[in-house]
Amino acid sequence: MLTANKKVLLSCSIHIILEKHILSKSTFIRGLQCTKSLYLYKNFIQFRDKQSAEQTAIFNRGNNVGLLAQKLFPGGTDATPTKRTDYKGAVMKTQELIASGVEVIYEAAFQHQQVLAILDILVKKDNEWYAYEVKSSTKISHTYHTDAALQYWVITNSGLALADMSLIIINNQYVRNGKLELDKLFVARSVKESALKQQALIDEKTVQLKSVSIALEQPSVAIGEQCFSPYTCDFMGTCWKNVPKNSVFEITGIQKSEQFALYNAGYKTIAEIPETNTLNAGVNAHIDAVKNDKEKIDKVAIHKFLNKANYPLFFMDFESFMPAVPVYDKTKPYQHIPFQYSLHYKKEKDAPLEHFYFLAEQGSDPRKSFLENLLKDTELPGSILVYDTLMERNILNGLKHDFPEFASAIDSRLHRIIDLMVPFQDKSYYHPAMKNSFSIKNLLHALVPDLSYTSLAIASGSVAMTAFEGLQTETDLFRIIEVREQLHEYCKLDTLSMVKIFEKLEEVVK
């Protein structure tokens, strides 16, 4: 057992020998992806792209899942220093906690050869140490293995032997029934064997990436597939600023490798792509539309599609959120939970539009009230138009499973659904501004430019998902009212866009 004096000496010696770290776990992974990205991050952080709402949500979700996983090992001590950027203090505090006999440490910090690693949970069992890193994912990726290997390298070379290194992930088969059962929600997977195999690589790469971080000159790295893997780089605004408008990267529906093959062969823009190429017919239809700057309209095919849609017409859109940790009974991690719908209704072709909508109250399971309101609002006969029906069909089938008493009514709605995306997907109607994409936003930009999502505070399904999930813990009444209004405006525009797109189809076959 260390005496008080020995503890002080240990703390002082750490303070003396500990240099400022150059690499952390996140910058190491960044450097493996792209050395230029690492250099820019370390030396020109001001050029970093603004973090999107979706990225912020992913980051916050990871933090929340990590805090919840700490309850698997209750009674621990948090090594996070008072000032969060005091990494030297965090390393010293961790060593002091270990020396004083603490057996569960959260956010344990270690440093070796100017490489910092902060571990989610460190546990001592039967006089041996076990390391746990928490991920909000349901699978272990190659990047997670490398991430754990670096942590193992730092911790063990710092002088702490590890009996095991594990990743704690979410069990996507867990179904909540009452109080959360953390031992069933989370599963731990040992990655020590994988970590040991990568130690030589970590040795080599830490030396290389430290040199990159402190180099006087920026590495010369051309844009490439590494810009997107394993994560979309947040310096694309810098590295991609010279990519021209109508570049080959605006061709959707092909692999990134095909885009870069064209770009690196000298075909920077779509107009430069030769007529004889190995791209598929759909891509070539887009190339032709861009080069000739004209629409492609197959009136016969469009007329055939329109004949399937019988007035009265409903234009329907759902919004859902996917909590990593199931919030309601009989739900799984990352299950789509519908919380909102918008319906525009036209009794006949020249009839005025009517609008119906539902937005669940935060804090309670929205599924049954969502379903009951939807069935009531769609009880009149008529076709139900949805743009890309996959999510709506999956949600309705999920609700049929959860509430079998409504199965017959749900089936009747499913039989009435028509996919408004079809005439655009099969290129019966194609506009060059669609860029070979069939997203409703691209379509709206091409066909109904007067309507736009750009002025909306919530302008995408992923942001809507994040916003509603945030309402579950929001206490500011004014903020709740504001977000609910933003959600309403976004979902309403989705179905109004569908109405205008459908009317455009009617117009072209007059």
Asked whether residue 134 carries a pLDDT value surpassing 70, the answer given is: yes
The beta-carbon contacts of 396-403 under 8 Å, at least 24 apart in sequence, are 398/335, 398/336, 399/338, 399/367, 399/370, 399/371, 402/330, 402/367, 403/367, 403/368, 403/371
CB-facing half-sphere around the CA of 190: CA atoms within 13 A: 7
User: What tokens does 92 get?
Assistant: 């010293």
Q: Assign domain 300-508 to a CATH class.
A: alpha beta
The mean pLDDT of 201-224, rounded to a whole number, is: 97
Integer Cα distance of 263 and 183 in angstroms: 50
Query: Torsion angle of alpha carbons 186, 190, 192, 197, nearest 10°?
Result: -110
pLDDT at 109: 98
Query: What does the DSSP 8-state code read for residue 23?
Result: B
Of the listed ranges 66-75, 260-269, 274-283, the one predicted with least confidence? 274-283
Confidence check: pLDDT of 10 > 50: no
| pLDDT surpassing 70 at residue 13 | no
Name the pLDDT band for 96 (thresholds 50, 70, 90): very high
Does the pLDDT at position 275 exceed 90? Answer: no
- What is the pLDDT, as a whole number, of residue 14? 45
Q: What pLDDT digit, counting tens, does each position of 366-384 carry?
A: 999 999 999 999 999 999 9
Lowest average pLDDT, out of 1-15, 213-227, 257-271, 308-322, goes to: 1-15
Alpha-carbon span 414 to 401, nearest angstrom: 14
For residues 461 and 467, give the distance between their C-alpha atoms in angstroms, rounded to a whole number: 10
Dump strand ranges (E) for 285-365: 296-297, 313-321, 337-346, 354-359
Q: Which percentage of the chain shows pLDDT scores above 90? A: 79
Distances (CA, A) of 52 to 35, 95, 106, 232, 347: 23, 37, 28, 12, 40
DSSP 108: E
Alpha helices, DSSP H, located in 186-270:
192-197, 199-214, 236-239, 256-264
CB-CB contact of 54 with 464 (8 Å)? no
First-residue to last-residue Cα distance in the chain = 90
pLDDT tens column, 218-259: 999 999 999 999 999 999 999 999 999 889 998 877 899 999
The confidence band for 5, taking pLDDT boundaries of 50, 70 and 90, is: very low
The answer to whether residue 73 scores a pLDDT higher than 50 is: yes
Residue 142 has pLDDT above 70, yes or no: yes
- Whose CA is closest to 336, among 347, 324, 351, 344? 324
Taking alpha carbons only, the member of 200, 15, 177 closest to residue 95 is 15
Q: What is the pLDDT averaged over residues 409-435?
A: 92
Please identify which residue in the block is written with the tokens 């005091």.
Answer: 86
Report the pLDDT value the prediction gives residue 473, as an integer from 0 to 100.
87
Percentage of residues in the chain having pLDDT higher than 70: 97
**Length of the chain in terms of residues written:** 510
- What DSSP character marks residue 379? -
| pLDDT for the residue 15 | 43
In sequence order, the β-bridge partners of residue 344 are 315, 355
What pLDDT, on the 0 to 100 scale, is given for residue 280? 85
pLDDT at 11 over 80: no
Say if residue 7's pLDDT is above 60.
Answer: no
CB 258 within 8 A of CB 223: no
Query: Do the Cβ atoms of 439 and 308 come closer than 8 Å?
Result: no
Q: How confident is the model at residue 426 (pLDDT cuts 50, 70, 90)?
A: confident
Pairwise CA distance, residues 216 & 319, whole Å: 49
Q: C-alpha angle with apex 13: 8 to 19, nearest 5 degrees? A: 135
User: Which residue from 63, 199, 192, 196 is spatially nearest to 129, judged by alpha carbons?
Assistant: 192
Contact 278, 257 (CB under 8 A): no
State residue 17's pLDDT score: 60
The 10 Å CB-count burial string (b at 16+, else e) for 227-263 is beeeeebbbeeebeeeeeebbbbbbbebeeebbbebb
Domain range 4-212, CATH class: alpha beta
- Inform me whether the pLDDT recorded for 332 exceeds 70: yes
Report the amino acid identity of residue 46: Q
202 contacts 150 by C-beta, under 8 angstroms: yes
Tell me the average pLDDT across 442-449. 87
Task: Quickly count: other Cβ atoms within 10 Å of residue 83's Cβ.
Answer: 9
Which of 359, 338, 504 has the alpha carbon at shortest distance from 410? 338
Task: Look at residue 4 and tell me whether its pLDDT is greater than 70.
Answer: no
Q: How far apart are CA 320 and CA 392, in angstroms?
A: 10
Q: Tokens 């719908």: give the residue.
A: 341
